[in-house]
Structure 1
Amino acid sequence: MSSDARMWYLRCVWSHEFAEEPVEIFSEVGVDGYECRKVERFRGGRLGWADEQHEVGGTGLGQVPVPPLDEINAQREFSASRIDDVEFERVWTKALGGGED
């Protein structure tokens, strides 16, 4: 198994004008490339979250594998980067504590 075959974490800022879409997305990505957990931050600070058993605040896991960062960043409206598990867990904990409407 290569060193790249492990869970990783993503933060993606989405620049757009859609009122009902998130402006920041945090994803925990499994070894298969699919999201395991996700947090979305919407305008005004509302947080939605999802895992394999729950969808809260309009957030759901992606139905296809997460593309490589260079593919995401090739689209001008996105700015994606890897984050560490500590940063993801901080956002995840905040979402679970106050993400429900």
Structure 2
Amino acid sequence: MVKLNVGSMRYYRIDWIHKWNDEYPYCYYIQIGSDNYEVRKLEKYQDGRIYYATNKEEKETFLSSEPFRPKDYNSEDENEIIKCVEVSKEEFNEEWANKSNF
């Protein structure tokens, strides 16, 4: 994996393609701190819903209590495909800025 971000924060997009996609998010954007824990998370749904969480605010989701490991988010079987890629701080912040439109 090519490291896109300099400094302690890292940013990821997780694409989650489900056989039955309506009830689950299809995309996550996650900011990870230097301690490998989630700092901010955004969940996007096919119907336009966007849920998000920080350590101070939760809208229909929450930050994980487990350290983030990108390799845990790369898999494929007959029902789903999960792919995790590191993204730029700019891409993450653009998605984060648009969350309040929903």
Cα offset, 1:19, TM superposition: 2.9
The structure whose residues are more often strand, as a share, is 2
| Residues in 1 aligned to 2:22 and 2:65: alpha-carbon distance in whole angstroms | 23
Give the TM-score normalised by the residue count of structure 1. Answer: 0.82
Where does the alignment leave 5 or more consecutive residues of structure 1 unmatched? none
What residue in structure 2 maps to residue 86 of structure 1? Answer: 90
What residue in structure 1 maps to residue 57 of structure 2? Answer: 54
CA RMSD across the alignment: 1.9
Number of aligned residues: 93
| Residues in 2 aligned to 1:55 and 1:37: alpha-carbon distance in whole angstroms | 10
| Residues in 2 aligned to 1:64 and 1:37: alpha-carbon distance in whole angstroms | 14
For residue 61 of structure 1, what is the amino acid of its counterpart? L
The structure whose residues are more often helix, as a share, is 1
What residue in structure 2 maps to residue 72 of structure 1? Answer: 73
Percentage of matched positions with identical amino acids: 27
Give the TM-score normalised by the residue count of structure 2. Answer: 0.81
